[in-house]
Chains A and B, each alone.
Chain A
Amino acid sequence: MKALVITRFTLQEAISRRLVLAGLLLSLVFLALFAAGFQFLYTRALESGTRSPGSLVQVFAGAALTVLGLYAVYFLSSFLALFLTVGAISGEVDSGTLHAVLARPISRAEYVAGRWLGFAILIVLYVAAMAGALLLLARLFAGYEPTSAERTIALMLLCALALLTLSLLGSTLLSTLANGVVVFSLFGLAWLAGIIEFVGDVLPNQSMIDLGIVVSLLIPSDALWRGASYYAQSPAFLLAASAGRGTFPFASLVPPALPFLIWSALYTPVLLLAAVLAFCRRDL
């Protein structure tokens, strides 16, 4: 398969340009910071809550820190996904490096697919390692158990892949700069729609909720994060928070709906297909 030659090349490029090394070092710094913060805040939370040892305060501190940490991972991985592919095709077209490559016996579809796979491997490794390490640290320091670590990571992976593919599609159609503006605006829009939906839910206001849902179908990143956040909270915390209604504006107390999950799973392949079709027609 010629696509795998392109995948190999993409990974080689990431290593050669020190992208992997920089990502690795910064991730270690991030995890160390999280571990230190967790250790410090968690022991303080326990000390101040001595009247009810091991109960509400412990539950709250564990969930809050874990969800916040994962929220940071969500942002980092989203930016990484968008940055990785914002010029994946357009940059190669602009610099003229693609001409000699595509004159070889390789189809445009194979090229796009190979490029996508290379970036997808990078982002999957990043998200799985970061979210996994974070949940592991929470468990080691505080014995924190999320509702489902697997589903948390799976939904975060789905989110990163969706953004990666959206940005790759943009790079087959637009210049790198224009694509950057578009995909980061869309990412921000999804974030805003999530907040609107949250507020609509608290008020409650059905129009606001509907608006949030429409945007999350177009760009599912924020809704997927909310799905992941549900599974990242411990069952005890969910129970306590549900009674009080509405806790973090960026986390969800209800599991993601099945139709949304099906749509999200289709989102990446549909966009990838669109990217292939768009690129096949392009004159270089």
Chain B
Amino acid sequence: MAAEAPAATPAVETIGLRKEYGRRVAVQSLSLTVWPGEVFGFLGPNGAGKSTTVKILVGLVQPTAGQARIFGQPVSDLRVRQRVGYLPEHFRFHDWLTGVGLLDFHGRLAGLSAAERRRRIPEVLRRVGLAEWGQDRLRGYSKGMMQRIGLAQALLPHPDLVLLDEPTSALDPIGRREVRDLIRSLRADGVTVFLNSHLLSEIELVCDRVAIVDRGQVVRSGRLADLMAAAPELRLTLDRVDSELLALLGRHGEVLAVEATTVTLGVSDLEAAPRVAAALVRGGYRLYGLVPAQRSLEDVFVSLVESREP
């Protein structure tokens, strides 16, 4: 389960992180905290600065300003990378290597002994479902297999923190489910997972906590359940839908969708439900159904990002 009582040292902590590429600001004063043992979802539209943030955490990109720490150590400290596994967004590996060859190379880089590599390599290959493909050259791998070998590479040195940048983008639905199961089993082992994704359903299914990032800034963060409960919606089924009705509902919330005689209304909290019902009856409408529903993460995400459009 998620760390209910936060431990003293965060697994990942950034304070006022900023990265500029010339005049373009990729990350703008980004502050976030990930606690050990959490599965943390980092969510945002393309170009929001998600990958740049992860690259700063593994030392591939130098921040312009601010601090980034992993397990309390600055990310410039090489020793901390011993505890980190990373799957890059564009998982490209040297295609002349075999699967086992790639893992052996990364095992050496991670400082694993020959004995550890011999034990660990078949283990991670099995874990990502490539046990039979280890001796094949990577150039013969499909895109999905490449992503799996990338995951194997990230898990190889028994990391305490795994940073996954879009880990399922090349996988089919079955592969995605396997990755979800893998993430859950990592959580069961107490491994912290930092998951970058624009696939909302992905994050909804596995993450304990989420930060929604847009244009290099965290616009909302918190426990997934809290984020979604914070913005409920009402499904109203009526005898008719006309412009007066929409105007009336607009005073109580935001009309999200109209399908035949069913209107979906976004409201600030569930206390709006009896008020809306009373107003409808007063207005002469016949109310057949009023169902409060939780908004999906996608709705939260879209409304947050769209409300920030200039």
Residues of chain A having any CB pair with chain B under 8 Å? 2, 5, 8-9, 12-13, 16-17, 95-97, 99-107, 281, 283-284
Contact = CB atoms under 8 A, between A and B. Distances in A.
A103 B59 contact: yes
B109 A104 contact: yes
B92 A96 contact: yes
A122 to B, nearest CB: 16
Given A105-B81, A106-B78, A100 B153 contact: yes
Given A283-B61, A283-B62, A104 B106 contact: yes
Given A13-B94, A283-B60, A106 B109 contact: yes
Question: Which size class do B's interface residues fall under?
Answer: 20 to 34
Given A283-B61, A283-B62, A103 B86 contact: yes
15 contacts: A13-B96, A16-B97, A17-B96, A96-B88, A100-B86, A100-B106, A100-B150, A103-B58, A103-B86, A104-B109, A104-B110, A105-B81, A106-B109, A281-B62, A283-B55
Nearest to A15: B96
Contacts of A17: 96
B108 interface: yes
A102 B92 contact: no
**Which of the listed residues B21, B78, B84 has the most CB atoms from chain A within 10 Å of its own CB?**
B78
A253 to B, nearest CB: 47
B110 A284 contact: no
A25 to B, nearest CB: 19
Most chain B CB within 10 A, of A96, A97, A105, A106, is at A105
A103 B96 contact: no
Q: Which residue, B59, B81, B86, has most C-beta atoms of chain A within 10 A?
A: B59
B94 A105 contact: no
Given A100-B106, A104-B110, A106-B109, 12 more contacts: A2-B109, A2-B111, A96-B92, A100-B88, A103-B86, A106-B78, A107-B78, A281-B62, A283-B60, A283-B61, A284-B55, A284-B60
B20 to A, nearest CB: 11
Quick one: which of B62, B81, B105 has the most chain A CB within 10 A? B105
Contact of B84 (A5, A13, A103): A103
A102 B56 CA distance: 12
A5 B60 contact: no
A93 B277 CA distance: 61
Contacts of B111: 2, 105
Contacts of A106: 78, 109
A220 B94 CA distance: 34
A97 B61 contact: no
Interface in B12-45: 21
B93 interface: yes
A95 B109 contact: no
Contact of B94 (A97, A99, A284): A97
A99 B109 contact: no
A99 B81 contact: no
Nearest to B56: A283
A63 B124 CA distance: 62
B90 A96 contact: yes
A104 B92 contact: no
B105 A99 contact: no
Nearest to B87: A100
Given A104-B110, A105-B81, A105-B110, A5 B105 contact: yes
B78 A99 contact: no
B27 to A, nearest CB: 12
A2 B101 CA distance: 17
Nearest to B98: A16
Nearest to A107: B78
B286 interface: no
Contacts of B240: none
Contacts of A104: 81, 106, 109-110
A103 B86 CA distance: 7
A95 B93 CA distance: 9
A16 B96 CA distance: 7
B79 interface: yes
Interface in B109-166: 109-111, 150, 153-154
Q: Kindly name the residue among A9, A107, A281, A283 whose own CB sees the greatest number of chain B CB atoms within 10 A.
A: A283
- The 6 lowest CB-CB distance pairs between A and B, nearest first, are A103-B58, A99-B88, A104-B109, A96-B92, A103-B86, A105-B81
B78 A105 contact: yes
A84 B218 CA distance: 45
B296 interface: no
B82 interface: yes
A12 B104 CA distance: 12
Contacts of A16: 96-97
Nearest to A100: B88
A103 B105 contact: no
Interface in B48-91: 55, 58-62, 78-79, 81-82, 84, 86-88, 90-91
A13 B62 CA distance: 29
A100 B107 CA distance: 12
